[in-house]
């Protein structure tokens, strides 16, 4: 993994610099602590056939096989009730699996109780201790493991600086805003240098602006530390912005695993496509001459494709003047245009079918509602999928 190679190179570089007594990187110390001097491979996670059946016949997890690489920002994405939070809680040790195996760094951890796992969690509601101030909240994990007060104090200060909350350190938890609580919860987990950090929708309670700011901060923090993060969210935009890889889940099963581009551009099935926000999904039928029958018309140039549906991503559509006829061009009427600054979003009607198109505003002609166009589909950008 290139990420881990970079991290190793950086660590070696930091080590070399430290020997000359001039630490050039303010985070070198934190980063060294964060890995606990262990090789990166120690935090790779492997799930084999993990199951969770609740009493009463409710199946939360069907059969989960998953490999999460060390130092990866991995996201579990899915609608509520898909089992993503249950899976996270199994990793944390807060829930028992009813079957399967979970290994961190090759060591099976399913029998290890939560308080002995090198795994920490940032909870959705933050779960900061109301009877402790910020400093004691952050230092809680170290205290429980018997780290002495001076060392604890030093590392709390260091972590607070790293997360940029040094000025909040003596406050009461009740005085913090949502974003500040989120940072304190993150610091409280990171300071323990876990093999694995779990984040359960940590940004869902924040307003949009702060949310996108913290998305960037979180993924930068993860890259600097090279720690393995497993992030749970139901927001596909958030997942795409932050993750190295995403697992899309539904009904207790994993639907697709891959980098954000794969998930978005080549969804494995209709569920993933719909969940990623795609609306241009049309049933296809094969005809005798090798072309495909769709509600738009006949598509050519994709004879060897299999699947009951076709996905036409809105950004692969080109809008041309109506007189330019040709293959894979369909006459359509503009219903609506939304100006989005860098691009325009069109709603079109083609026969009885509605279709969305996204067109860059750079040097492209704008069409008004009511106008007719030739909707042009690029056959190489089509995705064929099944239920």
Partner 1 sequence: MKRANFRRGLRAWWYIVLFFLYAPLAIVVLFSFNSTRTYSTFQGFSLEWYFKLFANETIVSAIYNSLTLAIVSSILATVLGAVLGYGMFRYRHLKLGWLIWFIYLPLVMPDIVYGISQMTFFVQIHEATGLLKPGLLTMIIAHISFQIPFVALLVYSRLLQLDPLLFEATQDLYATPWQRAWYFIIPTLQAALISAFFLSFTLSIDDFVISFFTAGPESTTLPIFIWSAIKKGITPEINAISTLMIGAVFTAAAISYAIQRARLASNPSRK
* Chain residues in the site for partner 1 (CB under 8 A): 92-94, 113-116, 119-121, 123-125, 127, 129-131, 140-141, 143-145, 174, 188-189, 192
Q: Which is nearer to partner 1, 123 or 343 (CB)?
A: 123
Comparison of 28 and 127: residue with beta carbon closer to partner 1: 127
Q: Which C-beta is closer to partner 1: that of 189 or that of 232?
A: 189
For partner 1, give the closer residue by CB, 68 or 128. Answer: 128
What is the CB neighbour count within 10 angstroms for residue 290?
Answer: 11
Instruction: Kindly state the smallest distance separating residue 144's Cβ from partner 1, in Å.
Output: 4
Minimum separation from the CB atom of position 117 to partner 1 (A):
8
Element at 156 (helix H, strand E): helix 149-163
| 15/23 Cα distance (integer angstroms) | 9
- Rounded to whole angstroms, the Cα distance separating 188 from 170 reads 14
> Is there a contact between 339 and 347 (Cβ–Cβ < 8 Å)?
no
Nearer to partner 1, 172 or 327 (CB): 172
Minimum distance from CB of 183 to partner 1 (Å)?
16
CB of 25 to partner 1, least distance (A): 28
Burial class (CB in 10 A: 0-12, 13-18, 19+), 209: exposed
Query: Are 182 and 213 within 8 A, CB to CB?
Result: no
Identify the sign of the CA torsion 176, 178, 179, 183. Answer: positive
125/237 with CB nearer partner 1: 125
Is residue 384 exposed (0-12), middle (13-18) or buried (19+ Cβ within 10 Å)?
middle
Cα separation of the two ends of the chain: 33
Least separation, in Å, of the C-beta of 172 and partner 1? 8
φ, ψ for residue 86, nearest 5 deg: -60, -45
Least distance in Å: CB of 91 to partner 1? 11
């Amino acid at each position: 993994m290139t990420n881990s190679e970079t991290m190793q190179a950086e660590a070696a570089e930091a080590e070399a610099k430290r020997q000359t007594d001039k630490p050039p990187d303010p985070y070198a110390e934190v980063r060294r602590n964060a890995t606990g001097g262990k090789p990166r491979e120690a935090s790779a996670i492997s799930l084999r056939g993990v199951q969770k059946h609740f009493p009463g016949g409710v199946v939360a997890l069907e059969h989960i096989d998953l490999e999460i690489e060390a130092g990866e920002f991995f996201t579990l994405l899915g609608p509520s009730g898909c089992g993503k939070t249950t899976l996270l809680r199994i990793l944390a040790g807060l829930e028992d699996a009813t079957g399967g195996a979970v290994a961190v760094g090759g060591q099976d951890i399913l029998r290890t109780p939560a308080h002995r796992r090198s795994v920490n969690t940032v909870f959705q509601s933050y779960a900061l201790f109301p009877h402790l101030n910020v400093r004691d909240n952050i230092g809680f994990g170290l205290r429980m493991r018997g780290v002495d007060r001076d060392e604890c104090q030093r590392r709390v200060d260091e972590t607070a600086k790293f997360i940029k909350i040094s000025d909040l350190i003596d406050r009461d938890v009740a005085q913090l805003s949502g974003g500040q609580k989120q940072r304190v919860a993150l610091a409280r987990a990171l300071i323990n240098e876990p093999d694995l950090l779990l984040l359960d929708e940590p940004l869902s309670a924040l307003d949009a602006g702060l949310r996108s700011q913290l998305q960037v901060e979180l993924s930068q923090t993860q890259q600097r530390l090279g720690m393995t993060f497993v992030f749970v969210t139901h927001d596909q935009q958030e997942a795409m912005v932050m993750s190295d890889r995403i697992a899309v889940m539904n009904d207790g099963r994993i639907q697709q695993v891959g980098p954000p581009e794969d998930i978005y551009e080549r969804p494995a099935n209709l569920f993933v496509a719909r969940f990623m926000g795609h609306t241009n999904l049309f049933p296809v039928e094969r005809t005798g001459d090798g072309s495909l029958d769709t509600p738009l018309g006949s598509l050519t140039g994709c004879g060897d494709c299999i699947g009951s549906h076709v996905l036409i991503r809105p950004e692969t559509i080109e809008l041309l003047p109506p007189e330019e006829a040709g293959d894979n061009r369909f006459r359509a009427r503009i219903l609506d245009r939304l100006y989005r600054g860098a691009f325009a979003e069109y709603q079109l009607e083609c026969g009885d079918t509605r279709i969305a198109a996204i067109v860059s505003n750079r040097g492209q002609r704008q069409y008004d509602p009511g106008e007719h166009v030739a909707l042009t589909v690029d056959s190489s950008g089509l995705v064929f999928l099944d239920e």
